[in-house]
Amino acid sequence: MNPLPQYNEPSSAPTNWPDRKRLALSIVVNVEEGAEQSVQDGDPRPEPVDELGVVLRKPQRNLANESNYRYGIQAGAPRILALLAEKNVVATFTCAALSLERAPDLAKQIVASGHEICAHGLRWTHQHRMNESEERAFIKATIESITTRCGSRPLGWLSRYLITENTRRLLAESGFIYHMDDYSDDQPFWDTQGDHSILVLPYALDTNDMKLWASPSYMPADWLQYAKDTFDCLYAEGAEHTRMMSIGVHLRIMGRPGRIHALEKFLNYVAQHDDVWIARRIDIARHWIGTTGNHR
């Protein structure tokens, strides 16, 4: 029988974010395009995550959906990178290694712009189906690919939603500093797996732009309002408690011309508040480690 989960005690005082900032804000840009399921790459069916909701269960290429993913690399990425540069915002790019292998110029631009490369798997695939040896090899291959392509190894990890009971231990053993596959809190916390501890930087699904694909009635204005409401709540709570906010976007989704304005307006809204620390996740992790030490 699995042990009962251990919950974290809430912080009773504001953390010492750099310069006494009230809120740490993490902008996460997911790079999955070119690493999704593809019959051409030997998968038994094409990628089921499709803006039109078309799911093909036989080994047939979905050329329309492939082009939608390709849009993320060719048009969405330049648009998002330009906006981040204009607003002087640094982000964490969670990248599937194969995506960067197939878009080497994008990899170079992300690194040259000062953004962080976080591992999003070797491919955009479900590692929860892997046994321990398979998952260990998957993690090792991801590190090697990203290191070769980007010049330094990734220190953070985000899976394609589902993980195994071994994931955090394997990540810690492989030298990762932080893990993102968690939605249980609005602040970082330590988790100990075996003889290793790893810092968990919780992510957020509710402020993720994937809803713009999954729910046709959900519009960019809805996403913007929800993001602002979330920010307002966490910003207010940040006066007395440790608070961190995550915004997750995708090249092929937020990078569309009818959606990019929502991210722009959100960043403009945040800029009206002086005591917000917009930071890469690795910087948040290093600050937390320096404050709390390398233990739970």
How large is the average pLDDT for residues 46-54?
A: 89
Residue 11 is predicted with a pLDDT of 52
Q: Over the chain, what is the mean pLDDT?
A: 92
Whether residue 181 contacts residue 161, with contact meaning beta carbons closer than 8 Å, is answered with yes
Residue 4 is predicted with a pLDDT of 45
Whether residue 154 contacts residue 255, with contact meaning beta carbons closer than 8 Å, is answered with no
- Cβ partners under 8 Å of residue 13, min gap 6: 240, 241, 242
Grade residue 7 by pLDDT with cuts at 50, 70 and 90.
low
Where exactly are the structural domains of the chain?
Answer: 18-292
Whether residue 267 contacts residue 249, with contact meaning beta carbons closer than 8 Å, is answered with no
Say yes or no: domain 18-292 is CATH 3.20.20.370.
Answer: yes
Over 90: is that where the pLDDT of 296 sits?
A: no
Helix/strand/coil for 278: strand
Alpha-carbon distance of 198 to 173, in angstroms, equals 9
Residue 83 is predicted with a pLDDT of 98
Residue 14 is predicted with a pLDDT of 53
Per residue in 109-155, pLDDT tens?
A: 999 999 999 999 999 998 888 999 999 999 999 999 999 999 999 99
159: left (phi over 0), alpha (psi -120 to 50) or beta: beta
Per residue in 235-251, pLDDT tens?
A: 999 999 999 999 999 99
Q: What global pTM score does this model have?
A: 0.94
Grade residue 161 by pLDDT with cuts at 50, 70 and 90.
confident
Alpha-carbon distance of 290 to 292, in angstroms, equals 6
Helix/strand/coil for 94: strand
Residue 216 is predicted with a pLDDT of 80
Per residue in 93-106, pLDDT tens?
A: 999 999 999 999 99
Copy the structure tokens of residue 253. 């989704």
Which residue stretches of the chain are H helix?
Answer: 63-71, 77-86, 97-102, 104-112, 132-150, 167-173, 211-214, 220-237, 260-271, 281-292
